[in-house]
Amino acid sequence: MGCCSWFDLLFSQDSKRKPSRPATSSYSHGSSQEHLLADDTSKQLALDSSQECAPSSVQADYASPSGEEYDSPPSTPRVNGDVSSIISKAVQNHPLRRRALDPSLRNVSYDNLGLAASNSNHVWRPRHIKFSRCAIRGEDYSGKKMINNYVREGVIGIGSYSKVVLCRNVADEELYAMKIVQKSRLRKIKVAPSETALTDVYKEVSIMKELDHPNVVKLIEVIDDPQCDRLYMILEYIEGRCMFEGPGPAGGISEATARKYFKDIVAGIVYLHSCRIIHGDIKPENLLVSGSGQVKLCDFSVSQRFQGNNDELRRSPGTPVYTAPECITGATYHGRAADVWALGVTLYCMLFGRYPFIGETLQGTYDEIVHGTLKLPERLDNQLSDLLKGLLCKDPLKRMTLDQVIQHQYYIGC
């Protein structure tokens, strides 16, 4: 295309003096076609609709039940002369932009709405999950890579199946976390007879789009182009990092901090279970701590739903040292009780900086989880000792429930 990117016009002080940098595509099929940014704002300027791409069958797994549609590629706006003022006005008047800047929304809290929250300072905003099926790669003027209207600022972390980068939305100048997965690679990884690792990603999207709680990381947008080999999940950015990696610092963290974190974690898990969702991988690495010290649960890649009050599950894909004994010995287990066990292991690590059950090998670790004895310091506070014994009870039928945790004196004192 001969047209310059509307980003070049929008964010240049003098678009006529600076040459535009074309946004080049990087589709998996090797297309060399150039595209202008596909965004809702562009739709306001477009007069003709381009042909929509048919969504893939796997995309239907997380299509909105209320009839939400993906954002389709808009037609190419004609850029004759300097139209940066027109585009700037369109961005400022966009409903999502107004919602982000509306001061009245920033003063609305969960308490004002009568909704439960562990942090009364949390600001409530209307949930809007955007689904885009057009992924356009390009660069800004400084040479930073862009995906649609998100500028990549740096890498946050790299996992086994995904990479998470820090990005900035040029529409509202807010920072977000972008989780990137390679679809072709995940399709080859079997996690069950009829499921692949990519299936887990779409399950994660389907679950996260329903969640809205101050102790759970929010999903903002999904970019899944059928012609692109990468899927992008735009997530709420937490300025802090994970609680800690491994068993934590030697000797653990302070008990006062552990109490505060514990209360946030419990609030998040209680919310998930009320939504009939089992997290499946509660551990410090999946607990993000914000700059204000608030804990948020993240990574729902192995989470599962249950129906009614029947939380009996078969697949237990969590981290071995946080796995409940019944997940090791039985064909089925109850998801809520397994999450409570992982909560107990997490609290133990926070307090003591070591795992409650660990062996020299994976099988040795499983043997310790099933048959090992829970070791607690002799001078440990009685309330804390009672709580840990209840959370790490090997019999799931006798294990403490979340309702009992909330009524426990240790929790009440948090």
Q: Say if residues 181 and 161 touch (Cβ distance below 8 Å).
A: yes
CA distance linking residue 320 with residue 317, whole number of Å: 8
In angstroms, the Cα distances linking 250 to 98, 325, 349, 392 are: 48, 26, 10, 21
Closest C-alpha to 284, from 316, 256, 252, 313:
252
Helix (H) or strand (E) holding 100: helix 95-101
CA distance linking residue 394 with residue 300, whole number of Å: 25
Among the options 8, 200, 225, 281, which is catalytic?
281
Residues making up the binding site: 179
Burial profile 381-404: b = 16 or more Cβ within 10 angstroms, e = fewer: eeebbebbebbbbbebeebbebee
Residues making up the binding site for ATP: 179
Radius of gyration from C-alpha coordinates of the chain: 24
Residues 6+ apart with CB under 8 A from 7: 23, 37, 138, 140, 146, 149, 170
CA distance linking residue 158 with residue 147, whole number of Å: 18
Burial profile 252-280: b = 16 or more Cβ within 10 angstroms, e = fewer: bbeeeebbbbbbbbbbbbbbbbeebbbbb
281 is catalytic: yes
Residues taking part in catalysis: 281
